[in-house]
Each structure stands twice: as structure tokens, then as C-alpha cells.
Chain A
Amino acid sequence: MSVPHIPILRRGIPYESLDVQTVSNVAGTAPACEVSFACADMIKHDLLHIGEARDALQKFRCEDLVRICKVAADLFLTDTLPVGSRGDLQSPEDYVRQLAMTSGLPHSLIRMNMKRLHGVLVQTDVILKGLTRGLDLSVLDKGYGDQNGSPVSFAAVTDCLGVVLPSNSPAVNALWVPSIALKIPVLLKPGREEPWTPMRLIEALKKAGAPPEAFSFYPTQHDGSGAIIRRTGRVMLFGGDDTVKEYEHDPRVEVHGTGYSKILIGEDEIENWPKYIDTIVESVSANSGRSCINVSVIVVPKYGDEIAKAVAEKLLAIEPLAQDDPNAKLSGFANPKFASMIDGAIESGLKDGAWDVSESLRQGRKRFQSRDGMNYLLPTIVRVPGWQHPLAIREFLFPFASVIESPQADMVPHLGKSLVVTAITRDLGFINQLFACPTIDRLNIGNVPTNHLKWDQPHEGNLFEFLYARRSFQIEQIA
């Protein structure tokens, strides 16, 4: 049986490489697609001409590109689109099945992510309004204009946005999509098991009217990723802590690493803790706990044991199910070794006063499970004695969180880097302390799950400010 061949896109032109790799289903029993791989020097070579891609987008008005994104939203969600370079077509159900094969994600989560991506595309105008603080987008067409009565000018700081994507969550593609409406072409390096989502988004955008030249797509190895990171003017990079550390001071690179997102309950609200258990459970387990916006640390001033037990009890309902079961909420691991590595890391950390609350409730069932040829880790809540414990601030690719008891006064000084913090409190002093904390990227005050994003707020950096710089200017009439 033939499978789609995912080509390289070189400024929109499909290119089949001689370096072809087969991506199999997670169980390793059947091929899902063939992928053309690019060498690093080809990427460098193509980047010499990336200005042509920018020129192609410059021919459009931002307003038109926003409309194209909105049209693409429905096409992505409902239409049958081309997939690969050999005439194959992909219905939405094909997409769900193909992505499930290679990523281990259950169909229900893929559909949820499809809706999220649809939501991003369809709200492109809202997103751009949030990113630009209401800028009239014709300013980007003309180069200068007026905002709130003041003359403004913005210049693009790059000819393209490089994006090194992960394999763990299709929704991250939401982060690069607005770049097209901002007239900046994209150069995407897909995760090994996930060429499907960026390719389907590209096809939807092309069908909606976006110029093909705006899309470069390079499945590649580490040296190719390096070429993208070093040679593109701006790059969005998904990676682990080591990667983050390497590039955290490079202004060209926006690093998306581990989130270490947290939920805090203030001393004023702790007696009401049972009301917030559902919010905590959703924050830990939505999208199978694979996102950087999932909570990995729960901090409370007291009732740590009770809260840990209540969250763990609710999470017991999340079990490995058939991938096409509509109730499936837990994803298998695309890399089968990864589950055992994570399991081992947790087991070796369970000492010095830490214990696995979930395991004690599962009556001896192990965290590591296999089903249908895939490996799973059951949701795990770990009670730790304090901030310094090795399992206190860890993030894994499944529903996992530690529960720490800490006086409220000690919370902010110990938070560290936190992509999202939900603070359940009405204490103004505490709230002000949180707003002043520079290591919190996104702050929710109140009973808000950490995975709830509002699109008029920038997420993990402001894409507009990343791609454009404000220029000072004045125009005098020449007599």
C-alpha cells in the first residue's frame, strides 16, 4: 500500500529528496508516510533567495491576508486537501487517522487541537489586534501611518520566520500562523512524527489564496535545524531545557521550552479548595498533559495531602483507551523508549519524603502501561516535602504534577520560570506581588485553568514585536 510522500517545500515548490525516511505508526508495524529530508546546506542556499518569498506576500494587503486566514480556517477543519507530492488527498478524518498513527495522540485530542487551530485562523484579526495593540494594519502595507493620533512606522526585521517545531502537540502551529497575515514568510522544520499539521495548514492557506512562495518546509536533521536557527533573521524554537539555555540570550530566537506552569492557591482561598479541584485537574490533564501550559506544580499553603489525593482521584478516570475511542484523553508515546525513561526518572526521584499519591490510589497498578503496541504513563500526582525536592519542579510529557505545601509569602520567591501561573486568590497584596514577578510569562488571577488562552493576549512572546521594529520618522513637505 502506498503512503503519502511529504516533500520539501522550497519557497512553495515541492522537492523530492534522495534522502527519504519512512515514518511508521507508533507501534512500528506499518508505514504512515515517506518524508523527504533536506540537507543543511540546501537550506542555507535557499535562504539566499528568501526575499522572493517576502516579495510575494508584500503584494497582498494585510487585510486580504487576514481574510485568507479566515477562509483557510474552515478549509483546514472541513475540506479535503492535497497531502504530499504524489497526488494524494487528505480528508479531515484522514488527517486525524494519520496524525494519530505517528504521534500516538487519541483522535479526540486531535479533533480538539483542530478546533483550536481553526479558532486561531478564524480569529486572526483579533489576534493581530492584541499583538499590535489595535494598529491599523494598513500601516504595515504602507510602512507608516497613524495610531491613536500619533505617526507610527514599522519595519520588518527579517525576511522570514524560521520555526523548529516539536512533535508533541499540533496546537503549537497556532504560534506561527499569524506571521503570514503579518506578511512574513515562514520556514518550517516539522517534528519527526508530525509533518501532518503544518503541511495541512499550508495547503489550507494556499487553497484560500496565500502565495505558495510564503511557505518553506524542510524536514531535516539537527544540522538542518542549526542552519535554520543561525541563518533566519527570527526563529521560533521548541526544545528542552538545554536548547533553551543555549539560545535564551539570543534576541533573534524565541525559545519555547518547558513551561513549568503552576497553580497557586492563596491563604485567603485555601479553605475553599474543594471548589478548585476541577480547575486543577483540567490544568494538569488537558491535551494529555503534553503542553507547556499544563500545570506541573501545584502550590498550596495547607491541605497538601488532601488536595493531592482529590486531584489524583479525579485523574484515575484517565486511562489508555483505543485511539479512536471518543472518551480517550491519554496519549501514547510516539517514541516508545520515552515512556520508560520518564517512568524511571520519576521512580528514582521518589525518595527523601516524596511519594506517588496516584499509585497508592491505583491499588498497585503500575504507572507504565502498554496497549495496542503503544506505551502510556498513567496520570501521576506526587506529593513532595518542599521546593527543593528533585521532583518538585519537573515537567514531563504526560499528566504529571507535584504538590507542594508552602507559606504564601514563600511562593513568589520560589516560582522561577513559569510560562503560566494561575493564582486563586483575592489578596491584593499577593496579586501585586505576582504582577511584579518577572519570571511569570502569563498570569491568570482567579479560577482559570492554565490551558485557557485568550487570543487577544500574546502567548509566549509578542509575534508582532518579534517580527517588526518601530522606526522613528518624520515627513516634511518639500517646497
Chain B
Amino acid sequence: MLGFGRKNPGAAAVGGAVSVPASAQPQPPKNAVSTANPPLTPAAANEQLDAHLREIIEWHFSPETGCPFWLDWKAKAGWDPRQEIKTHHDLVKFDHFQDEWLRDEKNERFVPKGMGGRPFNVFETGGTTGLPKQRVGWDDYKHDYEQFGDNLSDEFFPRGSNWIMVGPTGPRRLRLAVEHLANYRGGSCYHVDLDPRWVKRLISRKQYDEVERYQAHVISQAVEIIKHRDIACIFTTPKLLASLGERISVPSQGLKGCFCGGTSMTPEYVRFLQVEVLENKAQFVPTYGNTLMGLAMSVPEELAQNNYSVTYWAPQPRAILRIVDPDKTEKTMDYGQYGRVELTTLTKEFFMPRFLERDEAIRRPPHAKFPWDGVGDVRPFGFLENKIIEGVY
């Protein structure tokens, strides 16, 4: 059952991804932040998003350019998104995208006719057991990481310098994306692989010593490359960065910038990584993203002044992050409140409306650099309810 129902047809959205109350207007950053493009106002960003949305909806739901999955969906749903989806507020008319579809449906059913028969990449997500979820792609990862690359500091991520990626490679988009980022900024990329599926399996068996041995194996490889090659930039996960910091002084080995992603981080953990592992010499750039979205960015220059509470802004208009009421997901939470993270991806390669992430976060106001809603202090969904009771014995 694929859930072809129409959600709240005609319902007015309560709040929206970029609804900006006067009190939540973006504040100019206290430290100057370089911007690649002239700053948009939130209103202009809204207009840009809605225009992009209409173009993407037209693309995916037109027989000339759309993919079999969404065209079949439209036929069964009984309504045409091209007629009814005009602004991002209208997206609540869609049900939530189910990521199981990315496992249960053949990949060819997600190939838009408009891609002209170009062979596609297959990128995987999850997959500790059974068939992983897969998405097709062509150039999205390049667009996403070029956009990200344009926002990196030249001081900490010098153009022309080499990178190392220490983290999940294999069938993941990240493998190609980080290498493309390095190339885009004029450098090459070294890789050390970590298989997260194996780590998850070890953890499920409580083989924690084996996890540590595997982590040490990965870090040893990274240390050898870092010591013997000219590398200034790194992509890795927070845990691997901390582990690397146990083996070497990261900035003393010439690393100036660390682009980090993969898991949620508390402000305390961010402070630990920036101040103690990177010794406040290399820049820590936290990101939030996955194969389905791309890369939500933060403003690393403002970490300290924000007490290391990280806010991420989606690569709008190509993706929208919205903080929703978990019990009534049409409703956007107020600024400053926790809610579940809802992701909508809007590219010609991939349309994914209202996917509910397994995370929760605080809805944060637009920023001068990213004039749309952000998501702050991301943590696993249900964090408080599922919190393990300490000290029962």
C-alpha cells in the first residue's frame, strides 16, 4: 500500500517552511560572513522557492518529463499537483513520502523521462540488513556540493589544497560528492573507508571492543595518509574526528578545515570538537544531510557566539526542511520549539515531498546568509521519551 491518498485537500497550511514573523526576521551576523551571492530577503527567498517548486512539480507530473512512479501516483491520487501546488504552503496536500518505496520500487520507476535516457548513479542509504534503500541521481550531488563549496572559507579550506575523506564510501553519494567538492575547489581527495553497516552490526551484538578495534584500523589508515601527504581539508564524522584527535594533533598535521556530518551533535560535543580536538585552530563546519536531501549548511563563524548550538539551513530551493508537530504534521512548530524534521527534496532528478526524518530539532529563524527557516540542535526523534533511565541500580 503506497499511501496514494490526498492529504487535507485545500487545507491552509499552518505556518510554513519560510513563514517569517516580524519578530523572527534574520539578524545580521555579528561577525562578517562572506557570501557568494548577493543576500536575499526572506520574501525574495520565498518567491524563488515557489517559482522553483512550480517548475519541479511541472517537471515530475508531466508525461513528457516525469517518472513512472509519480505519474502512476497522479493517476491513482485523483488530483493533479500541477493544478494545486502553487506555493510551498500547498505541499501539505501530499502525504508523507515513505522511504520504503525506495526499497520496494525498482529504481527505473524513479527515472524522469526528461533525463533523456542518461545512465544514472545509484546511491544507497541504510541497509544494515536486507536490501538498502536506493535513490537514483545524475548531477544533483555536484550541484549540492558546489553550492556548499561556495560557502566554505578560503582561509580554512584553501583553494587548491587536497582533502581526505574518512568515512562511509562504498555505494554512498558522499564518496563521489566529497571528491567532487575537492576537485571543485581545485584539489584532490584521498579516501579511507568505514563501513557503517558493519559497525551497526557489531553494536547490535554488543561487540564494543571490536567496534573500537575497527575504528582504530580506520584511523590508523587516515593518520598514515595525513602524515605523508599534503592535506589541508578533511571530511569525516564527529566520532572519527574525535578518534583522530586521540592519535594526532589535527591542526599540527596541517589540517585547517574540517567538514563534518553524519550524526547529531550536542552543543557540548561541538564545543569539544572545535575547542579541544581542533584546538580552535582549524575550523569546524558541521553539516546535516543525507542521500535524499543534499547538504544543509551551518554558519561555522558563529558557533562560539551561539554557545555551540548548531543551526542548519537546507539547500533551498532544492530542498526544504520544516519542523513539524509530530502529532499533527501539517502544523509547523513555532520558532524556538522542538518538532520533528520534515524534508522535501525538489530537484529535476528527484522529487520527495514531506519525508519525515528520524530526527527532531528546534525551528530556528532565517539568517542573513540563508534567509529561510533553519533547524537547530538536531537530535534523534523521541530523544526525551527514549532516554535511558540512569542510576536505577
Q: How far is the CB of A347 from chain B (nearest CB, A)?
A: 19
Q: How far is the CA of A191 from the CA of B243 in the complex (A)?
A: 27
Q: Which residue on B lies nearest to A41, using beta carbons?
A: B242
With beta carbons under 8 angstroms apart, the residue of A17, A44, A166, A226 that contacts B391 is: A166
With contact pairs A19-B267, A230-B208 given, residues A221 and B393 touching in the complex (Cβ less than 8 Å) = no
Q: B208–A42 contact, CB under 8 A? A: no
Find A192's partner among B239, B269, B390 (CB 8 Å cutoff).
B390
Docked-complex contact A39 and B272, CB < 8 angstroms: yes
Say whether B212 faces chain A, with CB atoms less than 8 Å apart: yes
Residue B206 interfacial (CB < 8 Å): yes
How distant is A188 from chain B, measured CB to nearest CB, in Å? 13
Residues of chain A lying within 8 A (CB to CB) of residue B388: 221-222
Query: Which of B209, B266, B267 is in CB contact (< 8 Å) with A230?
Result: B209
Determine whether A159 belongs to the interface, using a CB cutoff of 8 Å to chain B: no
| Cα distance, A4 to B307, chains bound together (Å) | 21
Q: Which residues of B contact A82 (CB under 8 A)?
A: none
Complex formed: what's the CA distance from A335 to B209 in Å?
31
Best-surrounded residue of B246, B269, B307, B393 (most CB of chain A within 10 A): B393
User: A105 to B249, alpha carbons, bound, how many Å?
Assistant: 47
* In the assembled complex, A334 has its CB within 8 A of some CB on chain B: yes
Q: Do residues B208 and A226 form an inter-chain contact, with CB atoms below 8 A? A: yes
- Would you give the 0/1 interface string for A12-40, flagging 1 where the beta carbon is closer than 8 Å to chain B? 00000111000000000000000001110
Which residues of B sit under 8 angstroms from A230, Cβ to Cβ? 208-209, 212
B232 to chain A, nearest CB (A): 23
Q: Give every chain A residue within 8 A of B276 (Cβ-Cβ).
A: 42, 45
Complex CA gap A191/B388 in Å reads 13
Distance of A230 Cα from B208 Cα, bound (Å): 8
Residues in A whose Cβ lies below 8 Å from that of B390? 167, 191-192, 221-222
Closest Cβ–Cβ distance, residue B211 to chain A (whole Å): 9
Q: Which of A198-206, A238-246, A317-325, A402-410 touches B?
A: A238-246
Q: Is the CB of B277 within 8 A of A39?
A: no
Interface size on B, residues (CB 8 A): 25
B94 at the interface (CB under 8 A from A): no
**A17-B268, A37-B268 known; A334 vs B242 contact (CB < 8 Å):** no
Q: How far is the CB of A309 from chain B (nearest CB, A)?
A: 31
Q: Cα distance A397–B391 when bound, in Å?
A: 12
Determine if A48 is an interface residue (Cβ-Cβ < 8 Å). yes
CB–CB A335/B389 < 8 A: yes
Contacts of B243 in A (CB 8 A): 41
By beta carbon, the residue of chain B nearest A250 is B209
**B2 lies within 8 A of chain A by Cβ:** no
- With contacts defined as CB atoms under 8 Å apart, how many contacts are there between chain A and chain B in the complex? 65
With a cutoff of 8 Å between Cβ atoms, the chain A residues found around residue B209 in the complex are 230
Q: Of residues 275 to 313 in B, which have CB atoms within 8 Å of A's CB atoms?
A: 276-277, 307-308
Q: How far is the CB of A172 from chain B (nearest CB, A)?
A: 11
The answer, yes or no, to whether B348 is at the interface (CB within 8 Å) is no
Judge if A303 is at the interface, Cβ distance under 8 Å: no
Q: Which of A238-272 contact B (CB under 8 A)?
A: 238-240, 246
With most chain A CB atoms within 10 A of its CB, the pick from B267, B277, B390 is: B390
Is residue A168 within 8 Å, beta carbon to beta carbon, of the partner chain? yes
Judge if A213 is at the interface, Cβ distance under 8 Å: no
Nearest opposing residue in chain B for A8, CB measure: B268
The digit string for A343-372, where 1 denotes a CB below 8 A from any CB of B, is 000000000000000000000000000000
Question: B392 interface residue, CB < 8 Å from A?
Answer: yes
Cα–Cα distance between A194 and B393 once the two chains are bound (Å): 11
Is there contact, CB below 8 Å, between B246 and A42?
no
Q: Is the CB of A191 within 8 A of B272?
A: no
Interface of B is mostly: helix
> Which A residues lie within 8 Å of B269 (CB)?
39, 41
Distance in Å: Cβ of A10 to nearest Cβ of chain B: 10
Q: Shortest beta-carbon distance, B391 to chain A, in Å?
A: 3
Chain B residues near A42 (CB-CB < 8 A): 272, 276
A60 an interface residue at 8 Å Cβ cutoff? Answer: no
A240→B388 CA distance, assembly (Å): 15
B209 (CB) vs chain A CBs: closest residue: A230
Question: How distant is the Cα of A192 from the Cα of B243 in the complex, in angstroms?
Answer: 27
Q: Which of A39, A337, A338 has the most CB of B within 10 A?
A: A39
The interface bits of chain B over 381-393 (1 if a CB of A lies within 8 angstroms of the residue's CB, else 0) are: 0000000111111
Contacts of A239 in B (CB 8 A): 393
Contact, CB under 8 Å: B246 / A44: yes
A201 to chain B, nearest CB (A): 18
Closest to B308 in A: A18
Q: How far is the CB of A397 from chain B (nearest CB, A)?
A: 8
A28 CB, nearest partner CB in chain B, Å: 14
> Would you list which residues of chain A between 36 and 74 have a CB under 8 Å from chain B?
37-39, 41-42, 44-45, 48
Nearest chain B residue, comparing its CB with the CB of A292? B393
Chain A residues 163-195 with CB under 8 Å of chain B are 166-168, 191-194
From B208, B242, B268, B307, contact of A44 by CB (8 A) = B242
B364 contacts the other chain (Cβ, under 8 Å)? no
B206 near A246: Cβ-Cβ < 8 Å: yes
Chain B residues, CB < 8 A from A397: 393
CB atoms of B392 and A338 under 8 A apart:
yes
Q: Inside 8 A of A193's CB, which chain B residues have their CB?
A: 391
A192 to B392, CA, bound (A): 9
The verdict on A19 contacting B239 (CB below 8 Å), with A48-B246, A194-B391 known, is: no
CB of A29 to closest CB in B, whole Å: 19
Complex contacts, A222 vs chain B, CB 8 Å: 388, 390
> Any chain A CB within 8 A of the CB of B245?
yes
Give Cα A246–Cα B208 distance, bound, in whole angstroms.
Answer: 11
A18 engages B242 (CB within 8 Å)? no
Bound CA–CA A240/B392 (angstroms) = 9
* Contact of A45 with B245 in the complex, beta carbons under 8 Å: yes
Given contacts A39-B269, A45-B246, A192-B390, 13 further A-B contacts (CB under 8 A): A18-B307, A42-B276, A45-B245, A167-B390, A167-B391, A167-B392, A192-B391, A222-B390, A230-B208, A230-B209, A240-B392, A246-B206, A335-B392
Which 3 residue pairs spanning A and B have beta carbons closest together? A192-B391, A167-B391, A41-B242
What would 18 A/B residue contacts be, using CB atoms closer than 8 Å?
Answer: A37-B268, A38-B268, A39-B266, A41-B272, A42-B272, A42-B276, A167-B391, A192-B390, A221-B388, A222-B388, A226-B208, A230-B208, A238-B393, A239-B393, A240-B392, A246-B206, A335-B389, A397-B393
